[in-house]
Amino acid sequence: MSSKIILTGDRPTGRLHIGHYVGSLRRRVEIQESGDYKQMFVFIADAQALTDNVDNPEKVRQNVVEVALDYLSIGLDPSKVTMFIQSQIPELTELTFYFLDLVSVARLQRNPTVKTELAMRGFGSSIPVGFFTYPISQAADITAFKATTIPVGEDQSPMIEQAVEIVRRFNHIYGDTLVEPKILLPDNAACLRLPGTDGKAKMSKSLNNCIYLSETEKELKQKVMSMYTDPLHVHVEDPGHLEGNTVFTYLDAFCRQEHFAEFWPDYGCLQDVKDHYQRGGLGDMKVKKFLLNILNAELAPIRARRKEYEQDIAGVYDMLKAGCEAARAVAAETLDEVRRAMKINYFDDAALIEEQSKRFAAQ
Ligand code: ATP
Ligand code: MG
129-185 confidence digits (pLDDT tens): 999 999 999 999 999 999 999 999 999 999 999 999 999 999 999 999 999 999 999
Domain that holds residue 51: 5-193+312-353
Measured in Å, residue 19 CA sits from the centre of ligand 1 at 7
User: In this predicted model, what pLDDT tens digit does every residue of 58-87 receive, in sequence order?
Assistant: 999 999 999 999 999 999 999 999 999 999
Q: Kindly give the number of the ligand 1 atom that is closest to the alpha carbon of 153.
A: 20
Ligand 1 centre from 167 Cα, in Å? 24
Ligand 1 residue neighbourhood (C-beta within 6 Å):
8, 10-11, 13, 19-20, 23-24, 152-153, 155-156, 193-194, 202-206
| CB-facing half-sphere around the CA of 307: CA atoms within 13 A | 8
Residue nearest to atom 26 of ligand 1 (CA): 19
Domain boundary among 291, 309, 327: 309
The domain that holds 51 is classified in CATH as 3.40.50.620
What is the tens place of the pLDDT at every residue in 273-308?
999 999 999 999 999 999 999 999 999 999 999 999
Please state the domain count of the chain: 2
Q: Which atom of ligand 1 is nearest to the CA of 156?
A: 20
Model confidence band, residue 117 (pLDDT cutoffs 50, 70, 90): confident
Predicted pLDDT at 246: 96
> Do 145 and 229 belong together in one domain?
no
Whether residue 335 is predicted with pLDDT greater than 80 in this model: the reply is yes
Residue 280 lies in a domain: yes
Residues 15 and 98 in one domain: yes
For residues 77 and 139, state if they share a domain: yes
The pLDDT-based confidence of 52 (bands split at 50, 70, 90) is very high
Write the residue with the smallest CA distance to atom 13 of ligand 1.
Answer: 10
Percent of the chain with pLDDT over 70: 100
Same domain, 142 and 30: yes
Pocket test for ligand 1, best of 10, 52, 207 (most atoms within 8 A of CB): 10
Q: For the segment 211-259, what is each residue's pLDDT rounded down to a tens digit?
A: 999 999 999 999 999 999 999 988 999 999 999 999 999 999 999 999 9
The confidence score (pLDDT) of residue 1 equals 82
For residue 358, tell me if it sits in a domain.
no
Confidence (pLDDT) at 279:
95
Nearest residue (by CA) to ligand 1, atom 14, is: 10
pLDDT greater than 90 at residue 208? no
Q: Which ligand 1 atom minimizes the distance to the CA of 192?
A: 29
Query: pLDDT averaged over the chain?
Result: 95
Residue 118: predicted pLDDT:
86
Q: Are residues 248 and 111 in the same domain?
A: no
Query: Which CATH number do you get for residue 217?
Result: 1.10.240.10
Residue 239 and residue 339 in one domain? no
d(CA 326, CA 16): 24
Q: Are residues 123 and 263 in the same domain?
A: no
Give the ligand whose atoms come closest to the C-alpha of residue 210. Answer: 1
- Of all ligands present, the nearest one to the C-alpha of 17 is 1
Q: What pLDDT does residue 354 have?
A: 95
Q: Which of 15, 17, 20, 137 to mutate to test the pocket of ligand 1 (most atoms within 8 A of CB)?
A: 20
- CA torsion, ordered 19, 23, 28, 34, to nearest 10 deg: 130
Q: Is pLDDT above 80 for 206?
A: no
- pLDDT the model gives residue 211: 97
State pTM to two decimals. 0.94
Same domain, 30 and 166: yes
